[in-house]
Amino acid sequence: MATMTMVKGLNEGLRQVLEQDEKALIMGEDVGLLGGVFRVTDGLQKDFGSERVVDTPLSESGIIGTAIGLALRGYRPICEIQFDGFVYPGFDQLVSQLAKLRNRSGGRIKMPVVVRIPCGGGIGAIEHHSESPESYFVHTAGLKVVTCASPEDAYWMIQQAAASDDPVVFFEPKRRYHAKAEVDTTAAPLGLHRSRVVRSGSTATLIAYGPTVDVALNAAGAAAEEGLDLEVIDLRSLSPIDWEPLRTSLRKTGRAVVVHEAPQTLGMGSEVAARLSEECFYSLEAPVMRVTGYDVPYPASRLEDDYLPNLDRVLDAVDRSLEY
């Protein structure tokens, strides 16, 4: 067991990928000499060379388009989008080409491309640096979408994503980059598209992913002081979703609260609430609640604490659920 940050977990996971597969390469703005703006790729160009860790022009469309061409020639590119709000110039390449090519070829063409995207707020950043665009990609058939919430998941999930023959959009919660935890680099990892119960409970189920898993765990800890026993589930994979742990939990607790940073309308919480209402209707004691960002553009940094889901908002949703 080694103690590391999420940044270090990602860095070590990427190092494993480059060491084990000579066709793997990393590409993006400032990923080489600088080591990325968050230093996720620090030291990798020095150890693997500038043809394996490639500093690209400032063009997200060019990065993803080039990655598609490389994948067609047998390479396994891992792209870095510097910030969540910068992905949109590459959106057409992602949803019109990358997501479609394998299906268009009847499965004959593999698209082993990973697109890493630092996501979410909480770091006091300026406009376009704190967004949560996951629903765009979850809605796009042909893309797999995952997000890590811990250093251990970061270490293993980036390796699993790089091994996929389908394109994977890999969201990294930037405000959790420097959170430390123990990482077991020897045990068999959980499957890439599996949900995980990170805290067991019986009163209600908190469903979160990425940056809000820690929010949910803190809320569960505070609720325990008041005699409430909250279960917390980390989705980990947003497309596809592993529904069975959610169904099992709902049969036990009868109540659910979904927590995410993205705006509420047509966010992940909408799909989770609809699906659980359809499949667990007779287990539910109350409607599935949602605690999310608001339906406004991400605010200036001085207001982000009022925008982001927090412990108080989560516990208020639990209280409202218990009133039914």
Residue intervals of the chain classified under CATH 3.40.50.920 are 196-322
93-103 pLDDT, tens digit each: 999 999 999 99
3-state SS assignment for residue 163: helix
Q: Give the integer Cα–Cα distance in Å for 12 and 40.
A: 9
Q: Give the integer Cα–Cα distance in Å for 5 and 25.
A: 23
214-232 pLDDT, tens digit each: 999 999 999 999 999 999 9
Find out if CATH 3.30.530.20 is the number for domain 196-322: no
CATH level 3 topology of 2-183? Rossmann fold (3.40.50)
Average pLDDT, the chain: 97
Retrieve residue 7's tokens.
């940044």
231-289 pLDDT, tens digit each: 999 999 999 999 999 999 999 999 999 999 999 999 999 999 999 999 999 999 999 99
pTM of the full structure: 0.97
Q: Which helix (H) or strand (E) holds 221?
A: helix 212-224
**Catalytic site residues?**
129
Q: Give the integer Cα–Cα distance in Å for 38 and 71.
A: 26
278-320 pLDDT, tens digit each: 999 999 999 999 999 999 999 999 999 999 999 999 999 999 9
Residue intervals of the chain classified under CATH 3.40.50.970 are 2-183
Q: Which helix (H) or strand (E) holds 232?
A: strand 230-234
